[in-house]
Amino acid sequence: MPKNYKLLFLFCCFFTLFSAKTLAQKATDSIALPQALQQLEEKFGYYFTYADADVNDIKIIGFDISKPFNASINLIERQTSLEFRFIGERNIAITSNREQKTEIPVEKLNEIVITNYLARGISKKDRGVFEINYKNFGILPGLIEPDALQSLQALPGVESVNEKISDLNIRGGSSDQNMLIWDGIRMYQYGHFLGLISAINPYLTKNTMLIKNGTNPTYGNSVSSVILLNTEDEINQGFSAETGVNYLSIYGLADVPVSKNFSVITAARTSINSVFVTPTYNQYFDRAFQNTDITNVNEDIIQRNEDFSFYDLSLRGLFQASAKDKLRFNFMYLSNQLDFSENQILADTLTSKRSNLEQNNLGLGLNYRRNWSDKFSTNAQVYYSNYKLNAQNFDENTITELTQNNEVAETSFKLQTNYQLNDKIQLENGAELLQTEIINQQENDNNLSESEEKMFSPAFFSNIHFKSLDKRTYANFGLRFNYFDVQEKFLVEPRFSFNQVLTDEISFEFLGETKSQYISQYIDFQKDFLGVENQRWVLSNNLDRPIQESLQLSIGINYKRKNWLASLEAYTKKVNNVNTQSQGFQDQYELVSLVGETFIRGIDFIINRRFKKFQTSINYSLTNNDYQFDAISEEPIPSNLEIVNSLSVIASYDYNDLKLATGLKWRSGRHYTPISQEGLANNQFDYLSPNSEDLNPYLRLDFSASKAFEIHENIKAYAGISVWNLLNRKNTVNAYYEQIDNEIVFIEQEGLGITPNLVFRLIF
């Protein structure tokens, strides 16, 4: 799709023309209720908690921010069916007392423990779940768009040792141990630019949830975190659209109400390098392809061409069949494409080589929710996810061709019931049928090697949720029962979370879980797939890839008083049946397949101080992350993913739609395995103890600024600027040794240098 920007441009133009009819509408003295609430928060320092469905599409007439706080609240209550109730000194819950025409059960949401955790819109809830709500989102340093996976890295315990969002290391786990679910669909690719930016359209996502421990038993096949990305779940009664451009891509989005009870959201985005190349694009390109065949240039090359592009397409359809029935359909397609060719002179002969790589993920999902009564509801979800990675190298002179393919095809059907037993107890039960098929193929000069693996894993789960009448005690206990047909293995996974409010300022939490995973990413050779994307998805077997199993426990305490909040959490996590080939070794164990375990202990701490318009926070994590491979050493060795110390300091300012943020990120240097001086002198790979040396510490200063404003009464605009690594510090994110021209060379992979970005959006 080399010219997909033309299609997207027409797509965006259509939005503009379609919304032209709204330009003729007359202005009124009304204001949207969410906007009024935001103004009240900014002026008076209160924080509102509400369900979007209760306040969306409500207009308030005669609202005046200069009036006293109580007068404004009384005005809203007179014009709506909303009630305002204090749940803390500065926190106010908004509830609706509208009479329902039919019996619709109240969806039980997690109670908020801490609001505005790092920035406006980030909350921590009673089950240890972190939520980022983008409708009321503030700003984070270095980010000018609500990139879900970049935003998560601001939370304690979330790192990326190589700056890639596709390689998130959450509490010391490897990236393939995370599960990312978009509207109920598991995605096996979620990065553009080979994982440097999110492939999930940032303006289609309503909220993001991160579960680090105490996972609900409805989720399986993941021994680390669960990341949930959700789109809007309410039907918009009026047409809306937006379009925007930044230094990397251009996008368009439209929310079309087909009828009163049916709406469709469509979104598309593509890289802009097919039109013009920006300094930001060049920075990302050099970072993504450094130390690979794409950027390794020698003096014999006389011509080189690279053509890289990415795009994503998304659709969400929502149909409210009745007051009790809701149907949702989802479609997403993500793609990265690379074409590379070069001509060089070797032994006075012109040699031509061509290579290409294509990576994509298709997701299809259908969800049906039925509210049978005010106490009982069911939810049925079916999805199909297909991931493909294809790479080809072709040498015209020798007429040799190497083709490598990796494909994941997954189908899932899940049925879940929810029953409100009484005011204190809620029961969840369900079943899931999951089948995963993986194909790995390599063909070299008509020599074909191919493997096709399948795993069928039915599961049953049950969960009980308890909430005391005074809302000071919350407890969850669940079980997940898994069966794996290839291994003929049965596993039971208990999970729990407990939260107790001790005083108005202090709450205590205790969480635990056991989980399993039968799919992982392996690296056979570091130079596979052009040396660009060398990880292949594989299934567990009865030989060297057993099913991974994890156990995690954590204990924490939260404190909030007036404009102060603090949180301290200690955890321990053990993962069994980890294979060295999934851990990215680049030393003497690079080509070795050994099974062992990881043992992770850590502390996550944050303290936050909020003023009326200004907020500061300090975030610190201490981690000890060890491997235990008995065939390597009787003693534990440091993990390739260990970041011992990580510190973030963030300051932000938010007033009248002007948002400023700056932040400092510092962390310990990553480990690497050195070679002895004798080995270097004799050009021999004489490695010392694994991961016994550290790189220099990582340090980065970021800045962001944005401003929302009106161009017309029905057209809003948003402009922003960000600078990543403002000081242009050289940060080495990985290091290893490689033999080049019979000489051992120390290779250092650097993070992004100073990288500015601009964004401009129009919202109709």
Q: Render pLDDT for 423-476 as a digit per residue (tens, 0 to 9).
A: 899 999 999 999 999 999 988 877 888 899 999 999 999 999 999 988 889 999
**Contact status, residue 202 vs residue 759, Cβ threshold 8 Å:** no
The total domain count for the chain is 2
pLDDT band at residue 118, thresholds of 50, 70 and 90? low
Q: Report, as an integer, the average pLDDT of 212-226.
A: 95
99: three-class secondary structure by DSSP: coil
DSSP 53: H
CB atoms within 10 A of CB 717: 16
What is the DSSP track for 230-250? E---S--SS-EEEEEEESSEE
Report residue 597 as tokens.
């375990």
Query: For the CA atoms of the chain, what is the radius of gyration?
Result: 27
d(CA 522, CA 453) in angstroms, rounded, equals: 15
Identify how many contiguous H helices and E strands the chain contains and give both numbers.
7, 45
Please indicate, yes or no, whether residues 94 and 143 belong to a single structural domain of this protein: no
pLDDT at 95: 81
In-domain check, residue 1: no
pLDDT at 173: 94
d(CA 563, CA 608) in angstroms, rounded, equals: 8
Q: What is the pLDDT of residues 640-659, one digit of tens each?
A: 999 999 999 999 998 888 99
In-domain check, residue 112: no
Identify the domain containing residue 29 by its residue range.
Answer: 6-99
In-domain check, residue 108: no
136-140, 175-179, 490-494 — which is least confidently predicted? 136-140
d(CA 534, CA 287) in angstroms, rounded, equals: 16
Report residue 409 as tokens.
């095809």
Side chain identity at 197, as an amino acid letter? Answer: I
Q: Count of residues for the chain? A: 764
Asked whether the predicted pLDDT for residue 25 surpasses 50, the reply is no
Q: For the chain, percent helix, then strand, then coil, each to nearest 5? A: 10, 55, 35
Of 730, 738, 649, the C-alpha closest to 695 is 730
d(CA 679, CA 677) in angstroms, rounded, equals: 5
**Contact status, residue 559 vs residue 565, Cβ threshold 8 Å:** yes
Query: Of the candidates 68, 99, 130, which is a domain's last residue?
Result: 99
d(CA 655, CA 658) in angstroms, rounded, equals: 5
Pairing of strands 447-467, 425-444: antiparallel
Q: Report, as an integer, the average pLDDT of 467-488.
A: 93
Q: Is 354 exposed, middle or buried (0-12, 13-18, 19+ CB in 10 A)?
A: middle
Please indicate, yes or no, whether residues 37 and 128 belong to a single structural domain of this protein: no
Pairing of strands 715-724, 755-763: antiparallel
- The residue with greater pLDDT, 88 or 636, is 636
**Contact status, residue 356 vs residue 388, Cβ threshold 8 Å:** no
Report residue 626 as tokens.
């060890």
pTM for the full model?
0.86
Please indicate, yes or no, whether residues 126 and 91 belong to a single structural domain of this protein: no
Query: Of the candidates 99, 131, 164, which is a domain's last residue?
Result: 99
155: three-class secondary structure by DSSP: coil
Of 611, 563, 608, the C-alpha closest to 91 is 563
CATH number at residue 62: 3.55.50.30
218: three-class secondary structure by DSSP: coil
pLDDT at 112: 56
Question: In sequence order, what are the residues at sequence separation of 6 or more whose Cβ sits closer than 8 angstroms to the Cβ of residue 505?
Answer: 559, 560, 561
**What Å distances lie between residue 733 and 298, 621, 720, 736, CA to CA?**
24, 18, 28, 11
Of 336, 38, 358, 34, the C-alpha closest to 164 is 336
Which helix (H) or strand (E) is 38 found in, with range?
helix 33-44
Please indicate, yes or no, whether residues 409 and 533 belong to a single structural domain of this protein: yes
End-to-end CA distance of the chain: 28
**Contact status, residue 265 vs residue 316, Cβ threshold 8 Å:** yes
In-domain check, residue 734: yes
Q: Is 263 exposed, middle or buried (0-12, 13-18, 19+ CB in 10 A)?
A: buried
Please indicate, yes or no, whether residues 146 and 92 belong to a single structural domain of this protein: no
In-domain check, residue 110: no
Please indicate, yes or no, whether residues 261 and 397 belong to a single structural domain of this protein: yes
Q: Report, as an integer, the average pLDDT of 286-311.
A: 75
Q: Is 271 exposed, middle or buried (0-12, 13-18, 19+ CB in 10 A)?
A: buried
pLDDT at 397: 60
In-domain check, residue 581: yes
Q: Report, as an integer, the average pLDDT of 27-46.
A: 76
Q: Is 346 exposed, middle or buried (0-12, 13-18, 19+ CB in 10 A)?
A: exposed
Asked whether the predicted pLDDT for residue 509 surpasses 90, the reply is yes
Q: What is the pLDDT of residues 49-59, one digit of tens each?
A: 777 777 877 88
Of 572, 567, 545, the C-alpha closest to 557 is 567
pLDDT band at residue 599, thresholds of 50, 70 and 90? very high
Please indicate, yes or no, whether residues 76 and 152 belong to a single structural domain of this protein: no
CATH number at residue 694: 2.40.170.20
Q: Report, as an integer, the average pLDDT of 605-616.
A: 88
Asked whether the predicted pLDDT for residue 33 surpasses 50, the reply is yes
**Contact status, residue 463 vs residue 218, Cβ threshold 8 Å:** yes
In-domain check, residue 463: yes
Please indicate, yes or no, whether residues 91 and 150 belong to a single structural domain of this protein: no
Question: In sequence order, what are the residues at sequence separation of 6 or more whose Cβ sits closer than 8 angstroms to the Cβ of residue 502?
Answer: 508
In-domain check, residue 116: no
Mapped to the 3 state alphabet, what secondary structure does 80-95 carry? CCEEEEECCCCEEEEE
d(CA 143, CA 131) in angstroms, rounded, equals: 18
Side chain identity at 444, as an amino acid letter? Answer: N
Question: In sequence order, what are the residues at sequence separation of 6 or more whose Cβ sits closer than 8 angstroms to the Cβ of residue 413?
Answer: 380, 381, 382, 432, 433
Please indicate, yes or no, whether residues 141 and 50 belong to a single structural domain of this protein: no
d(CA 281, CA 289) in angstroms, rounded, equals: 12
d(CA 523, CA 675) in angstroms, rounded, equals: 22
Please indicate, yes or no, whether residues 592 and 714 belong to a single structural domain of this protein: yes
Please indicate, yes or no, whether residues 498 and 642 belong to a single structural domain of this protein: yes
**Contact status, residue 712 vs residue 750, Cβ threshold 8 Å:** no
Query: Of the candidates 49, 68, 99, which is a domain's last residue?
Result: 99
DSSP 107: P
**Contact status, residue 550 vs residue 223, Cβ threshold 8 Å:** yes
d(CA 122, CA 222) in angstroms, rounded, equals: 24
**Contact status, residue 627 vs residue 598, Cβ threshold 8 Å:** yes
**What Å distances lie between residue 659 and 138, 612, 613, 654, 709, CA to CA?**
7, 13, 10, 5, 12
Please indicate, yes or no, whether residues 526 and 645 belong to a single structural domain of this protein: yes
Report residue 254 as tokens.
């439209």
**Contact status, residue 629 vs residue 199, Cβ threshold 8 Å:** no
- The residue with greater pLDDT, 178 or 193, is 178
CB atoms within 10 A of CB 378: 15
Q: What is the pLDDT of residues 354-370, one digit of tens each?
A: 888 899 999 999 999 99
d(CA 250, CA 8) in angstroms, rounded, equals: 8
